[in-house]
Structure 1
Amino acid sequence: MNTGLKITAYAAALAATFGAAYGVGTGVGPVEEPKKAGHGDHAATPAPTKSPAAADGHAGHEAGATTDTPAAAANLPGGLQISDGGYSLALETPTPAVGKSVLKFSIKDAAGKKVTAFTTEHGKELHFIVASRDLTTFRHLHPVKAADGTWTTPVDLPAAGGYKAFADFKPAAPGAQGLTLGADLAVPGAYAPKAMPPVVPTATVDGYQVRLGGTLDPGKAGELKLTVTKAGKPVTDLEPYLGAYGHLVALRDGDLAYLHVHPNEGGPGPDVSFTATAPSVGTYRLFLDFQHQGKVRTAAFTVTAGGGKSPLPAPGTTVPAAGEATHGAGGHAHG
């Protein structure tokens, strides 16, 4: 794990993921977000209530088994395919350098033409995530679209290795469904993958403590509740960010299957709850975006679903949020 190895751009893209366990619940099945009212493109797992974001009808899009079967129709996790439902994610900069760089990409239709019209969901036409294959680096970016359909965003990638980019969007074409497409990025250089962050229920980021409770169960819906405090006091004035008091992205260790979950009704804090179903037994990284005093921050957690893993660790255990999984320099770029 600690041995540095020189990797080429191609080898980096194929880098294996490294994992550890963390218990939140038990069970068996796919991580899928409950369906929100007004978004009939996806199979539903109804949440008890709706968040401020629910009016947009944005669901965690799931990748399908064939290009003719969009993720939602196939009811599979998103981000596993570079092409789905007649659309493809085309990276123009698949081998960015270590540190600050610029990513360019487009969404192409079945004819190979760049898509220029998208449905706005949660204030954006497209949501773009970059995560390292070892799940220790996470970037929620906001790219800018040019008239020809080319998207551009700055990014800061701290180390060489394999990364994956996710584009979460819904084309404006009649009958189009929401999709999440995934493509590999490779940052050339000396690569030393990091171990999965430890199994603890509380993350600390910028002086905030975020505690994770609830269950993540394969095959059945469960509630995940995140509670935000600062200096031991509940944060009761969280600010809406992209139409919600919190955004949650789950990535499965191994293949980086993607789920973007939005919260149940509530707020403005200290609790933000989500209803989600794990797609399978396994280890997942959860990344919670929340906004307070005008700044977006990310708290990260490692969890396991099913497989006989132990329950959540006892309260009182904290670690800093994954150092790279924050909205620091390059971590949360706005277009």
Structure 2
Amino acid sequence: MFIKQLLSFGVAAIGTAAMPALASDAVTQGIFALSGTAEKVTAELSMETTGPLSRELLITFADKTTGKRIVHFDEELTQQLHVLATDSDFSSFLHEHPGKAGPDGRFRVAMNFPRPGVYHVFADAVPTGLGQQVVRFDVSVASPPGAAATPAPSSRHGSDGPYTIQLDQAGLQAGKESMLNLTVLKDGKPAQDLGLYLGVPAHAVFVGTDDLAYVHAHAMSADAANAAHGAHGAHGAAHDPAGPVPARMMLHAKPPHAGQYALWIQFMAGGEIRTVPFVVDVAKGS
């Protein structure tokens, strides 16, 4: 069934500090954001103002035990760092990649924010030898002097251009690995022009609207799902890259808490990255 949704995709950002002065905003300390996983890192972010709503964001990770900056990262789905962000009312979303860390371990990414506000920025990485680590930064992007306020986008209905997603969230429970069936439709029919996005058929990002709980999961074809799970707890679980990407997929996810989650599903269609937002309700575990 179609799930009522709340959001539209937009833009956000990430970066960090422990660096020479760059006329940047104050350093923001990260908050560990991956439920059920041991916290093995600390992280810092700073932003340099480069335009009215544009920023260069810099981020560094440090080993929590030794305090030493981390300079080596494993690639996860072709990237060393996944940057995912949403604003405080969940009306905008970004999934960005700053490329490889510099020799000093610092990641840099230039971002244009859609409007002023507070953004929740998630840095999702795999420091070598430490496993997946996710850190959240809460940053403020101020209005430029004299600028008129830009209204948040109006809610949509689970679509991006001609593409919609038919999503079945039956059985989605807190603390339990749940399976969601989804079908990508184009003009109401199963899409035939899908491709892999970062090596998988689709990505799904859940953010709890009350506690900002974070889950990043990967969809796979319905056939491949019978052989492997795509939850982000496995971070980089197997998928079948052979042949065209089918419209019918399965998604395994394990939301840590009951409640309402903003959900964005991203996929490649017609040669473009598409983003379809939802709001889903996660039931208490049995």
Query: If the length of structure 1 is used for normalisation, what is the TM-score?
Result: 0.61
Tell me by how many angstroms 1:195 deviates.
Answer: 9.7
Counterpart contact for 1:97–1:187, Cα < 8 Å? no
Find the counterpart in structure 2 of residue 225 from structure 1: 181
Deviations 1:80-113 (A, max 9, x none): xxxx31x122102188865333211111223444
Q: Which runs of 5 or more residues in structure 1 are unaligned? A: 1-20, 24-60, 65-70, 74-83, 308-335
Matched, 1:169 2:122: no
Calculate the aligned-residue CA RMSD, in Å. Answer: 2.9
* Separation in structure 2 between the aligned mates of residue 254 and residue 97 of structure 1, nearest angstrom: 32
Find the counterpart in structure 1 of residue 111 from structure 2: 155
* Separation in structure 2 between the aligned mates of residue 95 and residue 255 of structure 1, nearest angstrom: 29
CA distance 1:135–1:204, change in 2 (3 Å)? same
Deviations 1:210-231 (A, max 9, x none): 2222322223332222221112
CA distance 1:249–1:235, change in 2 (3 Å)? same
* Separation in structure 2 between the aligned mates of residue 249 and residue 136 of structure 1, nearest angstrom: 14
* Separation in structure 1 between the aligned mates of residue 265 and residue 113 of structure 2, nearest angstrom: 19
Select the structure that is richer in strand: 2
Find the counterpart in structure 1 of residue 201 from structure 2: 245
Find the counterpart in structure 2 of residue 63 from structure 1: 34
* Separation in structure 2 between the aligned mates of residue 185 and residue 150 of structure 1, nearest angstrom: 18
Deviations 1:114-147 (A, max 9, x none): 3211111111111111211211111101103222
Matched, 1:92 2:46: yes
1:296-307 to structure 2, matched below 5 A, reads 296-306=273-283
* Separation in structure 2 between the aligned mates of residue 127 and residue 263 of structure 1, nearest angstrom: 17
CA distance 1:159–1:98, change in 2 (3 Å)? farther
Counterpart contact for 2:174–2:282, Cα < 8 Å? yes
Instruction: Select which of 11, 22, 37 maps to 1:72.
Output: 37
CA distance 1:235–1:217, change in 2 (3 Å)? same
CA distance 1:211–1:228, change in 2 (3 Å)? same
Find the counterpart in structure 1 of residue 219 from structure 2: 263
Aligned AA (2:93) = F
Structure 1 SS opposite 2:37: helix
Structure number with greater CO (CA < 8 Å, separation at least 6) is 1
CA distance 1:185–1:191, change in 2 (3 Å)? farther
Deviations 1:19-63 (A, max 9, x none): xx969xxxxxxxxxxxxxxxxxxxxxxxxxxxxxxxxxxxxx963
Q: Which runs of 5 or more residues in structure 2 are unaligned? A: 6-31, 223-243
1:108-119 to structure 2, matched below 5 A, reads 108-110=62-64, 111-119=66-74
Tell me by how many angstroms 1:299 deviates.
Answer: 0.6
Find the counterpart in structure 2 of residue 205 from structure 1: 160
Aligned AA (1:229) = L
Tell me by how many angstroms 1:177 deviates.
Answer: 2.2
Count of matched residue pairs = 228
Find the counterpart in structure 1 of residue 256 from structure 2: 279
Aligned AA (2:63) = D
Structure 2 SS opposite 1:72: coil
